Chains A and B, each alone.
Chain A
Amino acid sequence: MDIPFTVKLRDDTTLYNAKVGIWLFLGSEVMLFGALFSSYILLRVGAPPGTWPRGLLNVPIGAFNTIVLIVSSVTVVMSWASLKLGNLGKFRFYQAITLLCALSFLTIKSFEYRDKFTHYEVWKTDGARMTGHVEGGPYFWSTQTLKDKKLDHIVFHPDPHHYTEPVKPHAGAAAEHEGHAAITIPVAEIARLSAFVPAHSTYFAIYFTLTALHGLHVFGGALVIGYLWGPGAKLWKTDPERFTNRIEISGLFWHFVDLVWIFLFPVLYLL
């Protein structure tokens, strides 16, 4: 006996096997990201008032990435519809756009990550805090790095204002300019130095964990879509219906990955 309902629909469920499987899998994915989002909420609610970092991410870039993913969601559907209409060429075209979108998303995200690794916060021994860049743009420095390198001072380019301060709505160009003037901070006055890496704060910890896990999903989804676009498309010749179903399944996963980002963007960038 062969396994039934791999392609044909079962009468009472009106589904083929893989569709049941992917929805169950997505259910568990909801629980996975749900736990991380819940952790985000609990950590944020538990943080002392006014200390939760805000405005440290680049909203236009995040918004652009959101659009990139939404476009890819549309092309995924178009590619599936093309197969339903029997047009493999159009499927290839739309799915190529999907893959390009996935690639741009990951590239843009990696530049965002890199920016964070060179962006620093300094806690001074007198209680003052400032964010900005260390002269020379080094990556991943920490308090320990200062000790290891036996530095006695660093040259720091502070940002106009710190995220714990209320934003000044009419800060003039002069203030902006003043903010960028380099200052020299003796290492003896530095209580803590950290780049915007996961260890910086629970905010960046959850930011990197969530976005990296999401990035892995984008990467995994792109691998599957890429496989079905290339060598996997041979199945179209022998069993077009089954191939179309595979595209539908990969598309469902892709929509889920997009949907997670639709939640991530406001939660991490805007709130």
Chain B
Amino acid sequence: MQPTAIETQPHAAHEAHHEELGFWRKYIFSTDHKVIGIQYGLTGLLFLLFGFCLMLIMRWQIAYPGKPIPIVGELLLKVLGDEMANGGVMQPDLYNAFGAMHGTIMVFLAIVPIAFAAFGNFVVPLQIGAPDMAFPRVNMASYQAYFMGGVVMFFSFFIPGGAARSGWTSYSPLATYADMGHHPNGQTFWILGMVLLITSSLLGAVNFIATIIQLRAKGMTWMRLPFFVWAQFVTAFLLLLAFPPLEAAAVMQLMDNVAGTSFFLPTGLVVSGNAVPISGGGSPLLWQHLFWFLGHPEVYVLILPAMGIVCEIIANNTRKPIWGYKSLVYSVLCIGFLSFIVWAHHMYLTGMGTKIATFFQTTTMIISIPSVIILTCFFISLWGGSIRFTVPMLFALAFLPMFGIGGLTGLPLGFNFTDLHLHDTYYVIAHFHYVVAPGTIFGLFAGIYYWYPKATGRFMNEFWGKVHFWTSLIFMNAIFQPMFAQGMAGLSRRMYDGGVTYAGVDDPALGLVGVPQIFIDMNRHISWAAWCLGLAQIPFILNFFLSMKNGRKVASDNPWESTTLEWQTPTPPPHGNFDKPLEVYRGPYEYSVPGKSKDFTPQNELEKR
């Protein structure tokens, strides 16, 4: 027996639409997916800039080891004290802290929130024709958890002993003993911050998947979803399933640091010449396995949303359907699955055994196939298109070769015999930065320039957009290309003095060969390129804010003449997104259909009889 179903929705929900929300409810504690998306975007961009600045400061120490840092040296001395920046010179502990936090902030506080949460929140419900996310309040909680995680991470710079300094990977036992003088120390803050960030992305992931499964508009079948939605769907699954093991690992490391357990601390551990009073019996390898079980899917969390953005922009600006839509969908699903079984290729040097290494080498080679399929589909999509070289399109086009370089240079790292030489050198840095910096971040810039008119009703300035693009492209390559050479010459990525110690060790009697001086000198060129890249972002920042007031107004709700649903709403979309429920009649990329009067057919346009 069923209870009598109530036909009408609760009245409160209806009334809420009409009443004007106050500032706090509208912008700070908003449950509207678009506002939350913008919150994520702005916070993420701030952290992106902050994490970038950390590295700009570190680049001084690498290029000019032991010299006082100009401009910010004094500031660091004042804020962080002698222990960290004696005489304006970056001290080793500060270098380690900045390095660890650069990685943590860029991955967990900048790229993932922008790529997944910001774009996903703003665009996905619009693209599937939904009024909002499935759980708006959960969505708000997700942003708040992220924000608090960010506050904890940021605050940790200013506690005694400074921020976490054991790398973004926080390997045990180093992470437990790197700062024994302070309790709680930066590592404890790092773990607490991570628990908040993991909670945030868990809530986000549940919400995204439920939204995509449940709230697709009528007629929006799975194979009519824009590729961007597919990419976010798979990304959400990666976050949902890969992050919890890191949370478990974080809890265990917290126990090691605070409760004196030995989850990741082996028997007979000696620190600074003293045996530490612990039970032992733990396994440092266990941390690495749990960390990389997240860490590798995380790589795809970083790249898949950018691929989705690039796909939308390529289709829109070539004015023709994406080539191989189904191949793209199946490839992204394959990547999602395979990314869970490649993690130990980060651990070839840990002595886990050749059999395991061989297994992971094999799966790693296999996962490159769907990635190449995706990239190939994008390249073929360009063929014969009448390409509009708009600013978003320029970034999307640059994504292709940049990601290509990043991906292909990963193959020697995936083979364990070549990895033995390249592991932990600047080659690795160059490889994954090509994937994430001129790869993912260019994808994100493309997305910002592309959807900005929908969010604000105005275009960003085209000329300054092009200045931003060309300077960024040049300096990105000037930074990372030389690092391949440095890495192949054997320069370790974690040297506080930029490898000067390595250069001076030529000793034929011992058979030692130092790194040739030319590779050390490259540090200066790279650093100058990095600082120039910093300057190249100024046009973007100004453009981003000034265009809100002064940008060219959009002439219609669909200024790029796109087919997907996010352009079929008012600009900017109101609360609830669509005026009335809509129906979808066709796939996402019906551009230049022969016999039509215009070169795009929106997904919800009825066939005229």
Spell out A's residues near B (CB within 8 Å).
1-7, 10, 13, 15, 17-18, 20-21, 24-25, 27-29, 31-36, 39, 42-43, 46-47, 51, 83-86, 143-144, 192, 194, 197-202, 205-206, 209, 213, 238-241, 244
The answer to whether B206 touches A46 (Cβ under 8 A) is no
B65 at the interface (CB under 8 A from A): no
Whole-angstrom distance between the alpha carbons of A28 and B208 in the complex?
14
B252 within 8 A of A: yes
Question: How far apart sit A170 and B213, CA to CA, in the bound complex (Å)?
Answer: 62
Is B282 a contact of A202 with CB atoms below 8 Å? yes
Among B236-244, B398-406, B589-597, the stretch that binds chain A is: B236-244
Are A84 and B277 closer than 8 Å at their CB atoms? no
* Least Cβ–Cβ distance between A43 and chain B, in angstroms: 7
Q: 9 additional contacts, CB 8 Å, given A1-B578, A35-B244?
A: A3-B131, A17-B135, A35-B293, A36-B248, A205-B252, A205-B261, A209-B255, A239-B10, A240-B4
CB distance from B26 to the nearest CB of A (A): 18
Q: A86-B3, A209-B252 are in contact. Are A17 and B259 (CB under 8 A)?
A: no
Contact B240 A28 (CB under 8 A): yes
A51 neighbours in B (Cβ, 8 Å) = 281
Judge whether A21 and B279 touch: CB under 8 Å.
no
Evaluate contact between B259 and A199: CB separation under 8 angstroms: yes
Contacts of A240 in B (CB 8 A): 3-4, 6
Q: Residues of B at under 8 Å CB distance from A?
A: 1-6, 9-10, 13-14, 130-132, 134-136, 138, 202, 205-207, 209-210, 213-215, 240-245, 247-249, 251-252, 255, 259-263, 277-279, 281-283, 286, 290, 293, 576-581
Q: Which residues of A contact B135 (CB under 8 A)?
A: 17-18, 21
Q: Which of A7, A29, A35, A194 contacts B279 (CB 8 A)?
A: A194
**Chain A hits for B579, CB < 8 A:** 1
Assess the B281–A202 pair: CB atoms within 8 A: yes
**Complex interface: chain A residues within 8 A of B249 (CB):** 35
B202: nearest residue on chain A (CB-CB)?
A28
Tell me how far the C-beta of A15 lies from the nearest C-beta in chain B, rounded to whole angstroms: 7
Sample (13) of A-B pairs whose CB atoms are under 8 Å apart: A20-B213, A21-B207, A31-B245, A35-B249, A39-B263, A43-B283, A46-B283, A47-B281, A144-B277, A199-B262, A202-B282, A213-B251, A244-B3
Q: How far is the CA of A24 from the CA of B132 in the complex (A)?
A: 19
CB of A128, distance to nearest CB on chain B (Å)? 17
**Chain B residue with minimal CB distance to A85?**
B1
Contact of A199 with B248 at beta-carbon distance under 8 Å, contacts A1-B576, A20-B213 already known: no
- For A194, what are the chain B residues with a Cβ–Cβ distance below 8 Å? 279
Chain A neighbourhood of B215, CB < 8 A = 3-5, 17
Complex alpha-carbon distance, A132 and B106, angstroms? 51
| A2 lies within 8 A of B131 (CB) | yes
- Asked whether, in the complex, the Cβ of B244 is within 8 Å of the Cβ of A32, the reply is yes
Q: Who on chain B is nearest to A16 by CB?
A: B214
Q: Which of B3, B286, B578 has the most CB of A within 10 A?
A: B3
Whether A241 lies near B245 (C-beta < 8 A) is no
**Complex: A21 Cα to B135 Cα, angstroms:** 9
Question: What 3 A-B pairs come out closest when comparing CB atoms?
Answer: A35-B245, A199-B260, A205-B261
Choose among B248, B255, B581 the residue with the greatest number of A CB atoms under 10 Å from its CB. B248
Given contacts A36-B248, A43-B263, A209-B252, whether A28 and B205 have CB atoms under 8 Å apart is yes
Cβ-defined contact, B6 with A241, below 8 A: yes
* B5 contact set on A, CB distance < 8 A: 7, 241
Q: How far is the CA of A1 from the CA of B243 in the complex (A)?
A: 34
Bound Cα distance A63, B564 (Å): 58
Question: In the docked arrangement, what's the CA distance between A21 and B211, Å?
Answer: 9
* Contact B251 A209, beta carbon cutoff 8 Å: yes
Bound-complex Cα distance A6 to B206 (A): 15
Instruction: Give the chain A neighbours of B283 by CB distance below 8 A.
Output: 42-43, 46
Q: Given the complex of chains A and B, what is the CA–CA distance between A175 and B251 in angstroms? A: 42
B1 A86 Cβ-Cβ under 8 A: yes
Q: Which of the listed residues A4, A47, A202 has the most CB atoms from chain B within 10 Å of its own CB?
A: A202
Q: Once bound together, how far apart are the Cα atoms of A85 and B1, in whole Å?
A: 6
Taking a contact as CB atoms closer than 8 A, the residue among B9, B207, B286, B290 that contacts A43 in the complex is B286
Contact of A201 among B2, B4, B259, B279 (CB under 8 A): B279
Nearest Cβ on chain A to B301's Cβ, whole angstroms:
14
| Chain B contacts for A20, CB-based, 8 A | 134, 209-210, 213-214
Complex Cα spacing A198 to B13, Å:
49
Residues of A within 8 A of B2 (CB): 84
Q: B568: shortest Cβ distance to chain A, in Å?
A: 13
In the complex the two chains form, what is the Cα distance from A24 to B201 in whole Å? 13
* Contact among A2, A18, A192 for B9, CB-based, below 8 A: A2
Least distance between B33 CB and chain A CB atoms (Å): 10
Q: Hey, which chain B residues are within 8 Å of A239, CB to CB?
A: 6, 10
Q: Separation in Å of the A211 CB from the closest CB of chain B?
A: 13
- Is A27 within 8 A of B240, CB to CB? yes
Q: Are A84 and B251 in contact (CB under 8 A)?
A: no
Contacts of B10 in A (CB 8 A): 238-239
Chain A residue, CB-CB nearest to B290: A35
* Docked complex Cα distance between A39 and B262 (Å): 12
Q: How far is the CA of A186 from the CA of B572 in the complex (A)?
A: 78
Bound state CA distance, A147 and B458, in angstroms?
71
Q: Which residues of the partner chain A approach B286 to less than 8 Å between Cβ atoms?
A: 39, 42-43
Q: Which residues of B contact A4 (CB under 8 A)?
A: 131, 214-215
Task: Name the residue of chain A whose CB is nearest to the CB of B17.
Answer: A2
The closest CB in chain A to the CB of B5 belongs to A241
Which chain B residues border A6 with CB–CB below 8 Å?
9
A198 contacts B245, C-beta separation under 8 Å: no
**A31 surroundings in chain B (CB, below 8 A):** 240-245
> Which chain A residues border B202 with CB–CB below 8 Å?
25, 28
- What is the CB-to-nearest-CB distance from A62 to chain B, in angstroms, rounded to a whole number? 22
Q: Which of B2, B207, B281: most chain A Cβ within 10 A?
A: B281
* Chain A, Cβ-Cβ closest to B249: A35
Closest A residue to B575 by CB, please name it.
Answer: A1
User: Which of chain B's residues has its CB closest to A83's CB?
Assistant: B3
A198 x B255 contact (CB < 8 A): yes
Q: B241–A10 contact, CB under 8 A?
A: no
Pick from B252, B282, B290, B577: contact of A1, CB under 8 Å: B577
Q: B251–A241 contact, CB under 8 A?
A: no
Q: Are B282 and A43 in contact (CB under 8 A)?
A: yes
**B263 engages A205 (CB within 8 Å):** yes
A183 to B13, CA, bound (A): 72
* Most chain B CB neighbours (cut-off 10 Å) among A1, A31, A199, A244: A1
List, in ascending order, chain A residues with CB within 8 A of B213's CB.
13, 20
* B262 and A202 contacting across the interface, CB-CB below 8 Å: yes
Task: Tell me the smallest distance from the CB of A224 to a CB of chain B, in Å.
Answer: 14
* A27-B241 in contact given A1-B580, A17-B134 (Cβ < 8 Å): yes
- Most central of B207, B251, B279 by chain A CB within 10 Å: B279
Smallest CB separation, B202 vs chain A (Å) = 6
**B262: chain A residues within 8 A (beta carbon):** 199, 201-202, 205
The complex places the Cα of A85 from the Cα of B130 at a distance, in Å, of 34
Of all chain A residues, the one with the shortest Cβ separation from B287 is A39
**Contact partner of A2 among B134, B261, B293, B576, CB < 8 A?**
B576
Report the minimum CB–CB distance from B176 to chain A (whole Å). 13
How far is A47 from B280 in the complex, measured between Cα atoms in Å? Answer: 10
Contact of A205 (CB < 8 Å), options: B138, B205, B240, B255: B255
CA distance A43 to B262 in the complex (A): 10
The CA of A47 and the CA of B262, in the complex, are separated in Å by: 12
Interchain CB contact under 8 A, A3 and B1: no
Q: Once the chains bind, are B1 and A202 in contact (CB under 8 Å)?
A: no
CB atoms of B131 and A28 under 8 A apart? no
- Chain A residue numbers with a CB within 8 Å of B581 are 1
Q: Which residues of A contact B260 (CB under 8 A)?
A: 198-199
Is B255 touching A39 in the complex (CB atoms < 8 A)?
A: no
* Residues in chain B near residue A17, CB distance under 8 A: 134-135, 210, 214-215
Which A residues are CB-close (under 8 A) to B293? Answer: 35
